[in-house]
Amino acid sequence: MLQDIDTLIVGAGFAGAVSARLLAEKGEKVLVVDKRNHIGGNCFDKIDFATGALIHMYGPHLFHTDNPEVWDFVSHFADMEVYEHRVKANIDGKLASLPFNLETLYEVFPNTVAMEMEIMLTESFGYGENVTILDLKKQKEPQLEFLANYIYDKVFVNYTMKQWGLGPEDIDKEVTARVPVRINRDSRYFTDRYQGVPIYGYTKLFENILDHDNIHILLNTPASDVLEIKSNKTYIFGKEFKGKVIYTGGIDALFNYEYKPLPYRSVFMEFEVFGKDRYQEAATVNYPNNFDFTRITEFKHIHKTFGKKDVTIILKEYPIAYEANKTEPYYPMFTKEAKAAYKKYEAKAKKVKNLILLGRLAEYKYYDMDDIIARAMEKVSSL
């Protein structure tokens, strides 16, 4: 079997699946292995038979991109349904639009106060600009300072504490900048040119991507059952392998946690069924200051062609500490200490000439779905 493999890919999420397809179309024989019993990585979805809803088993995944090449790629393998995500936050019992924008002012403050703040924000930053909460907190004008503290206290700080187990000042700015304060009236969560979800779900999308004669898939197969690195050489099934290895899993696991496990945050997913047509008015409602969970997602808002009447299913997400080999590593920790720890593993990986690191866990970076597709395209084109 080894002689029939040109490339081994560890992981059947977007990083692995896209790479596999592109290489297969070049004529390469590709073996994809994944420790889970399904393809699609964290994008895996399925029908909930009790409610008929199409549910995302690892949290909501909403596809959005400004990259036409990426959009064309996914559209080739799935019929995409236009979907613009809306998020609300439960603030003192009121539902307010996120990201915080000019419309949100009128949802949480009296009209006269909201109008004054709108004028001040527009004059200070310019209409259409995005401002991070930490930059807004630097303002010295009393009303802007009040607004910054309000948004920080009501929307950011406690949510961040729950999500990351850290305060916003202790997290890399690329994280806090992901949800800006918008000086406009756009209440969509994403503003990308292309937004949507696969009509028949992500699992079907992955099935189509991986449906190629040159791709062979092994599920329920940990990387350690197939791949070993010794003396900067790769071995597959115990024999030296000189083809390419694209690795998308945790880099610390690849090297047997030689420098200790890298820090991540994990999430406990809790699904609940209710005997009503709708549970909430938006697809996702954040709970910054109440309860141990961070948000509730109702999937009937996302996949409108699925779901029975008078019954619905929701997902509550509880951030938890990550434990290697016990919980799923969802989010790399963006601290200086974490990045320094990753650099040790990265230096070790660079010594293995045919090893290619790709993806959120392997590169220890926060990639959106479109980012990792573009990254896979870039990597494969350079091989």
How does residue 224 score in pLDDT terms, banded at 50, 70 and 90? very high
Share of the chain above pLDDT 70, in %: 96
Among residues 156, 182, 208, the one where a domain terminates is: 182
Which residue shows structure tokens 């890399």? 172
Residues 269 and 259 in one domain: no
Q: Which domain holds residue 120?
A: 98-182
Given a cut of 80, is residue 252 above it in pLDDT?
yes
Residues 108 and 65 in one domain: no
Residue 110: inside a domain: yes
Residues 310 and 290 in one domain: yes
Residue 190: inside a domain: no
Number of residues that make up the chain? 383
The domain total for the chain is 3
Q: How far apart are CA 143 and CA 57, in angstroms?
A: 43
Residues 146 and 246 in one domain: no
Give the CATH number of the domain where residue 24 resides: 3.40.50.720
Nearest to 209 by CA among 82, 79, 76: 76
Residues 222 and 365 in one domain: yes
Residue 247: inside a domain: yes
Residue 173: inside a domain: yes
Query: What's the pLDDT tens digit per position in 292-337?
Result: 999 999 999 999 999 999 999 999 999 999 998 899 999 998 788 8
Given a cut of 60, is residue 361 above it in pLDDT?
yes
How does residue 51 score in pLDDT terms, banded at 50, 70 and 90? very high
The CA distances from residue 256 to 31, 41, 172, 240, 368, in Å, are 22, 21, 27, 19, 27
The answer to whether the beta carbons of residues 154 and 31 sit under 8 Å apart is: no
Residues 271 and 245 in one domain: no
Residues 116 and 37 in one domain: no
Residue 36: inside a domain: yes
Residues 276 and 356 in one domain: no
Among residues 299, 321, 343, the one where a domain terminates is: 321
Query: How does DSSP classify residue 355?
Result: E
Among residues 277, 295, 321, the one where a domain terminates is: 321
Strands 244-247 and 355-357: what pairing? parallel
Residues 336 and 314 in one domain: no
Query: What's the pLDDT tens digit per position in 336-355?
Result: 888 999 999 999 999 999 99
- Backbone φ and ψ of 141, nearest 5°: -65, 130
Residues 51 and 68 in one domain: yes
Buried/exposed code over 148-164 (b: 16+ C-beta within 10 A; e: otherwise): beebbebbbbbbbebbb
Please, what is the Cα angle at 286 between 282 and 289, to 5 degrees? 145
Residues 356 and 216 in one domain: yes
Element (H, E) at 120: helix 111-125
Residue 192: inside a domain: no
pLDDT given for residue 172 in this prediction: 64
Given a cut of 70, is residue 11 above it in pLDDT?
yes
**CA 318 distance to own-chain centroid:** 16
The two three-digit tokens of residue 231, written as one number: 């003396």
Q: How far apart are CA 27 and CA 195, in angstroms?
A: 32
Nearest to 152 by CA among 287, 296, 333, 288: 288
pLDDT given for residue 324 in this prediction: 85
Q: How far apart are CA 36 and CA 192, in angstroms?
A: 31
Residue 129: inside a domain: yes
What mean pLDDT is reported for the chain?
93
Query: What's the pLDDT tens digit per position in 70-116?
Result: 999 999 999 999 999 999 999 999 999 999 999 999 999 999 999 99
How does residue 4 score in pLDDT terms, banded at 50, 70 and 90? confident
Q: How far apart are CA 283 and CA 153, in angstroms?
A: 24
Which residue shows structure tokens 């409108």? 304
How many helices and strands in the chain, by DSSP H and E? 13, 22
pLDDT given for residue 152 in this prediction: 87
Query: What's the pLDDT tens digit per position in 117-174?
Result: 999 999 999 999 999 888 888 888 899 999 999 998 898 888 888 998 876 667 666 5
Residues 317 and 375 in one domain: no
pLDDT given for residue 178 in this prediction: 58
Residue 213: inside a domain: yes
Nearest to 245 by CA among 357, 344, 324: 357
Nearest to 229 by CA among 249, 255, 257: 255
